[in-house]
Each structure stands twice: as structure tokens, then as C-alpha cells.
Structure 1
Amino acid sequence: MSLPADAVAALESFQSVGSWEQRARMLMQWGERLPALADEDKVEANLVQGCESLVWLVGRLQDGHWQFAASSDARMIGGLVALLLARVNGLSAAQLQAIDLPDWFTQLGLSRQLSPSRSNGLNAVLQRMRELSRTQN
């Protein structure tokens, strides 16, 4: 499966840095680039269950392809969610079901930095994306 352009850009930038400090800084920068969600989107219905941090997620289907937007109260999670969005935005519902989350973060060189709680949180975000894509086909 070919990667969306944002995912290719993420891979290239993360694979070009060596140290964890550089990766951590880059992760924060990705989080800061998340477009702000409107206040009306920051409601209980859009809150992802299963995250220790607050993460809101909205998605919409455009011409058979999903576009998601998210926001988090935690900077590190914001960066990880931004990288997840880079990987999934523009995919069809079927492609979304096939995403291998651990593999994506391994490719980025970030898997060792994913604590079990962060990993569970990201899985919860991905599960929520999959639920949205199933209900709005």
C-alpha cells in the first residue's frame, strides 16, 4: 500500500535524525502543527475513550477518502496523534482497517518511546477512526 504524502514526509524527517532528543523535539513540532479543533468539536461525543490524556477526534468522508482532525491536551500525545493522522488521512475505510500501528511507529523510530499507556491511547484513537469509518460508509 502506498503511503500518503504526509506520511512519506514524516518518515523522511524522522529517519533523518539520529538522537532521541531530536526525535522528541520533532514530535513536539508535529503536535504543534495540528490544526486547532473548533470548540464545538471538543465535546464528550468526540472524546476518545481509553486515552489517559484528553484526545478529541472528528472525521469526515470526502469522495470516498477519510479526513480526520484531532486535538490533545498533552504535547507528546499531540505529536503522536499528528503522526497517526499523517498516516491515515486520505485513506478509504478499507485501507483504514488495514493500518498496522506498531509497524508505523517502528518505521518512524519511535516504538521504543511508546509507553504501554501511550500505545493503548493511540490504539484507542485508531479504533475510534475505524468505528467512524464503519458507521459512515
Structure 2
Amino acid sequence: MATQAFEDIAETFDFLGDWEERYREVISLGKAMPPMPEALKVPATKVTGCASQVWIHPEIRDGRFGFQGDSDASIVRGLIAILKALYTDLPVQEVPKVDAAAELARLGLDSHLSAQRSNGLKSMIVRIREAAQEAA
């Protein structure tokens, strides 16, 4: 149940050779993501459980989920961009149904992230699901 934006990322990853190329792609995705306004980087939007600083600000419009996000680490910004592709524009009630672990495994992220980054990624997914459930 992935969005077309996520499918596009998965297709790109299929064509990339080794993990180093995929790692560079993750960073590139983060660099291409619009910056989050500083006014939204407040304690209420900060994600706990991440080694780096991460902020996620949900935005629900017409029953569809979206969010702004940012991090002080370039690889984590890229992970946020991937999560944006996975969840943005889904009906809010569909967000908790997404098997994020399975979708991200398609990119090979599950076996190449450090334990700290994996835990941080899980924390971001929990925050996204909670925001969607609150809005539903």
C-alpha cells in the first residue's frame, strides 16, 4: 500500500548497485526536501528516541495525511524524505495500516542502518501513526 512517490524511490533503489550508492541517494532525497520553518521546531514537534535532532509536524488536509519534517543529520533528513513519500497524501485512516517495516525493507534500509538510526526511524514512524490516529 505504498504511494506512487514511494514506488518511485523503490524503483530508483532497485537500479542502484551497492549500499554506498543508496546511502548517497538517501542523502540526496534529504537535500531536495524543503526546509522546515524554524517556528515549527519546538518541543511539541521533536521526536524522542532519535540520536540526532528530529522534528515532525503533521498536516492533515481534507482527510489526507502529510507532514513537515527536519533533522540536523543529513542521512536522517533523507529518511524523513522517504517517510514523507511513504505517507503523504494517504487518507488519514490508512496511515496506521501501512507496513512501514516491510516497505522500508524493500529499499534495503533495514540491514544497513545503525541500531541508533533504526530506533530513531521507528520513533518517527510511531509519531506519524499517532498523529494520524489522533486526526482520524
Determine if the TM-score, normalized by the shorter chain, exceeds 0.5: yes
Alignment-derived partner of residue 125 in structure 2: 126
Alignment-derived partner of residue 21 in structure 1: 20
TM-score scaled by structure 2? Answer: 0.93
Alignment-derived partner of residue 113 in structure 2: 114
Q: Residues of 2 paired with 1:134 and 1:52: CA distance?
A: 25
Provide structure 1 residue ranges, at least 5 long, that are not aligned to the other structure.
none
Residues 62-85 of structure 1 show CA distances to partners (whole Å, capped at 9, x for unaligned) of 111101110000111111111111
Residues 97-133 of structure 1 show CA distances to partners (whole Å, capped at 9, x for unaligned) of 1122221221112221122211111111111111212
Alignment-derived partner of residue 59 in structure 1: 58
Which 4+ runs in 1 deviate beyond 4 A? Answer: none
TM-score scaled by structure 1? Answer: 0.92
Q: Residues of 2 paired with 1:99 and 1:115: CA distance?
A: 23
Task: Verify the 8 A CA contact 2:92 2:135 in the aligned structure 1.
Answer: no
Alignment-derived partner of residue 79 in structure 1: 78
Map residues 89-108 of structure 1 onto 2, 5 A cutoff: 89-108=88-107
Q: Among all aligned residue pairs of Structure 1 and Structure 2, give the percentage whose two residues are the same amino acid.
A: 33
Aligned residues: 136
Q: Residues of 2 paired with 1:90 and 1:27: CA distance?
A: 21
Task: Verify the 8 A CA contact 1:30 1:79 in the aligned structure 2.
Answer: yes
SS at match of 2:51: coil
